[in-house]
Structure 1
């Protein structure tokens, strides 16, 4: 699978990029930098501008408040039970992405709405206490060479669920979960029917549309000068909102729910 969305790895980041990655980790409260930020780091000036524009939405709890309201209204497809003992890394990965993808969905949604001049005409973004970020260690981000061929093929099949884009962005959550192949082997057959009958896709679209309306209100809080690379940034951010982040918010929440009520 070719990578249509090149990215700077955290290990390879230096100078300003490394400093920005560290600030993103500290501000969002997770141990890894989401792929969208690492992709923005590949073209000149995009990451510094985008992060400066949305960082206040995190610090003031605006993205968190929007995420909390969204979770109360989102459609969560019913997935067959995934309860059972798994390596600690499985719950760590799911908890981390359930938090970061949902928060990023709103901060980045607000950024896209602002860049499109589609901020809501009224409404006031809610500020408040931030949601606690899970304090977990994640396994290394797996590549094809790191896992058995059948595991990598399962990662690619799972990545197609709930998505129609070509080429696909490879969701990082599945790459982290590739270190738990037995869990992926249990996950695929319970998600496949929901993908095939359209249940998963319909929930993803509905949740994405609901999030967009909340993001348009949040965009009213962005105060920034329009960047030179506005179109390129909007295109990149929209790709993640419409696909990788936009689908994984629903999938991850459904999988965590299937793992058990304590999650």
Structure 2
């Protein structure tokens, strides 16, 4: 499992798609384009429509406001300490994904709520000054051929924590951390007990519920025409909201707490 969903890589993007990828990087403040956008790029007209619908949310700081409220309310399972010296890129990956996954969870969650007709009837998310994304260089996004077989097997095992028995999406954070297999082994040791006793999954579901409520309010700020392939777009976005992004906001935050460093 490398990219189980079809996606256009940033290197292969041309024309309008390349321009949209560049705009996403600049607007969100990240160096890499999330898999959800690269997946939408494979669907006729989906990426231009979806990005036009949510870009104004980013510019207004609405996902940032939702993220601040979410971080106050979210709960994470307590993991054993993951403190200690690791390559600087480990904390760079964790900080980058902690920010970008959470921001994307709210823009995409709002988009799904809008497509489903589940926009909140009242309640509003007030704009706040945008929070700068961590401007950190990340290691290569590893594929199976880039790492030892045992490291790739470890990535796949980690990806099952907090998700369905056979996840459809391989979380990119683990692929970015595959250059530090000893740290991934520590993460597996820390996550295995909370995955086994169900507390990890409960935390993920609770946090998803909190995020969905905030996202439905955020959806009130979306102004768009319903696209021709709305059902397909909603299904694609939902895979990330419920699975890859929906689980990793909790897992990444728990790992960062266990690392013991400052949280953004």
Q: TM-score range by the shorter chain?
A: over 0.9
Q: Is the 8 A contact 1:165 1:243 kept in 2?
A: no
After TM superposition, the structure 1 = structure 2 runs for residues 105-116 of structure 1, keeping only pairs within 5 Å, are: 105-116=105-116
How big is the shift at 1:186? 1.1
Deviation, 1:4, is 3.7
Report the counterpart of residue 214 of structure 2 in structure 1.
Answer: 214
Equivalent residues of 2:82, 2:187 under 8 A apart? yes
Distance 2:262 2:180 in 1: 21
Determine if contact 1:142/1:176 at 8 Å carries over to the other structure: yes
Deviations 1:70-120 (A, max 9, x none): 001001111110001111110110000000000000000000000001100
Structure 1 pair 261–3 and aligned structure 2 pair: CA distance change class (3 A):
closer
Q: Aligned equivalents of 1:102 and 1:168: distance in 2?
A: 20
Distance 1:117 1:27 in 2: 26
Equivalent in the alignment of 2:59: 59
TM-score calculated relative to the size of structure 1: 0.98
Aligned to 2:180: 180
Count of matched residue positions in the alignment of Structure 1 and Structure 2:
263
Q: CA contact under 8 A between 1:113 and 1:119: conserved in structure 2?
A: yes
Q: TM-score with structure 2 length normalisation? A: 0.98
Distance (Å, rounded) in 2 between the aligned partners of 1:251 and 1:153: 19
C-alpha RMSD of matched pairs (Å)? 1.0
CA contact (8 A) 2:159 2:171 kept: yes
Give the equivalent residue in structure 2 for 1:146: 146
Secondary structure of the 2:83 match is: coil
Q: Which runs of 4+ in 1 moved over 4 A?
A: none
CA 1:2/1:85 → structure 2, altered by over 3 Å: closer, same or farther? closer
Instruction: Summarize deviations over 1:153-179 as a string: whole Å, max 9, x none.
Output: 000000000001634210000000001
Contact 2:160 2:166 in 1 (8 A): no
CA distance in 1: counterparts of 2:219 and 2:80, whole angstroms: 37
List gaps (5 residues or longer) in structure 1.
Answer: none
Within-5 A mapping of 1:190-209: 190-209=190-209
Distance, in Å, in 1 between the alignment partners of 2:91 and 2:167 is 29
CA distance in 2, matches of 1:167, 1:54: 26
- C-alpha contact 1:109 1:216 (8 A) present in aligned 2: yes
Which structure 2 residue ranges, 5 or more long, are not aligned? none
1:29 corresponds to which residue?
A: 29
Q: Distance in 2 between matches of 1:68 and 1:2?
A: 32
C-alpha contact 2:8 2:42 (8 A) present in aligned 1: yes
Alignment correspondent of 1:93: 93
Task: Tell me the distance in 2 between the aligned counterparts of 1:18 and 1:11.
Answer: 9
